[in-house]
Amino acid sequence: MIKALKTETDKVLAEATAKDPLTRKVHDSYMAFKAKYDRWSEVSEEAYHIKVRG
Q: Give 14 or 50, the one with higher predicted confidence.
A: 14
Alpha helices in 1-54, H assignment, sequence order? 2-19, 21-53
Report the alpha-carbon distance of residue 18 to residue 13 in Å, rounded. Answer: 8
Q: pLDDT band at 54, cuts 50/70/90?
A: confident
What local confidence, expressed as pLDDT, does residue 42 receive?
82
Distance separating the N- and C-terminal Cα atoms of the chain: 36
Domain ranges across the chain? 2-53
What local confidence, expressed as pLDDT, does residue 27 receive?
97
Backbone angles phi, psi at 20, to 5 degrees: -135, 120
Report the alpha-carbon distance of residue 30 to residue 43 in Å, rounded. Answer: 20
